[in-house]
Amino acid sequence: MTLFQNKKALTVKPLPTLADPSDIDQVHGILDTWPKNPIDTENWEHYPDKPEVFFTPAWHGKILFLKFYVREPVTRAVFLKDNDPVYQDSCVEFFFSQPGEAVYYNLETNCIGTCLGESGFSRQGRTHLKEEVLSAVKRVPSLPRRPLEETHLSGGWTLLLEIPLDLFLEPEPENLAGVELMANFYKCGDSLSIPHYLSWSPINTKTPDFHRPEFFVPLRFASHQPGSK
């Protein structure tokens, strides 16, 4: 088990000025060259399996880009309908809130791009995001969009998310420069033959529980690329 120690704030850089955010291949190429943040905190000793998981964030306009990189012993994706329990599959998750706000959001996406989105104040009584909000979250998985029974993927998989944060923030910003969120990132697979529960920033609880906003860490959107004016 990892000793509890808060992560430092994470800075989200904007895409380069000349980048075309609608060119998915270009976005992939840019993020692949940037530093990757490990989701590698083993909070619970009864789940020792530790896939290799990283994510890289970026922003453009009002869009947050998140690319996840995953290598795991076994991979599964049986859920195809949004708001199905994708956390039972090979799943990556992004939980976030605005500073000072009690409500937080969870976006949980399996390896083929099916997404569960909710809002609420705690684990209990959560509300599914409206269809028009969830459908606006674009998912670009490396795997085909079809059911995948549990198997070993030697090359792993990636997932790019494009999240229109203006749909979640009040007041709505002109762009994400200077915006701050509180957040955490997770990797799980509840129904895999080798289940696991990893977090980016540590969670100090006795049993697996990702719905703990008290352990969220600042996510700060930089106004400029480092070294630019």
Is the pLDDT at 4 greater than 80? The verdict is no
pLDDT tens, 202-212?
A: 999 988 899 99
* CA distances, 51 to each of 6, 48, 191, 208, 228 (Å): 21, 10, 15, 16, 36
Look up the CATH number of domain 10-221.
2.60.40.1190
Residues 6+ apart with CB under 8 A from 94: 66, 106, 107, 161, 163, 183, 185, 186
* CA distances, 205 to each of 43, 61, 75 (Å): 8, 36, 26
SS (HEC) of 108-161? EEECCCCEEEEEECCCCCCEECCHHHHCCCEEEECCCCCCEEEECCCCCEEEEE
Average pLDDT score over residue span 53-74? 97
- Partners of 38 in the β-ladder: 54
Strands (E), the chain: 10-12, 37-38, 41-42, 52-60, 63-71, 75-77, 91-97, 104-110, 115-120, 127-128, 138-141, 148-151, 157-164, 180-188, 197-199, 217-221
Weakest-pLDDT range from 12-21, 38-47, 107-116 = 38-47
pTM across the whole model: 0.94
Is the pLDDT at 93 greater than 50? The verdict is yes
The band of 42, judged by pLDDT with boundaries at 50, 70 and 90, is confident
pLDDT at 86: 98
* Mean pLDDT over each residue of the chain, to the nearest integer: 93
The band of 229, judged by pLDDT with boundaries at 50, 70 and 90, is very low
Is the pLDDT at 201 greater than 60? The verdict is yes
**Rounded-to-integer distance, Cα 12 and Cα 225, Å:** 10
Cα 104–chain centre separation: 14
Average pLDDT score over residue span 148-171? 96
- Cβ–Cβ contacts within 10 Å for residue 164, how many? 15
Is the pLDDT at 33 greater than 90? The verdict is yes
Q: Find tokens 């969670």 and name the residue.
A: 203
Weakest-pLDDT range from 6-20, 152-166, 174-188 = 6-20
- Per the model's pLDDT, the better-predicted residue between 224 and 19 turns out to be 19
Is the pLDDT at 226 greater than 60? The verdict is no
pLDDT at 2: 44
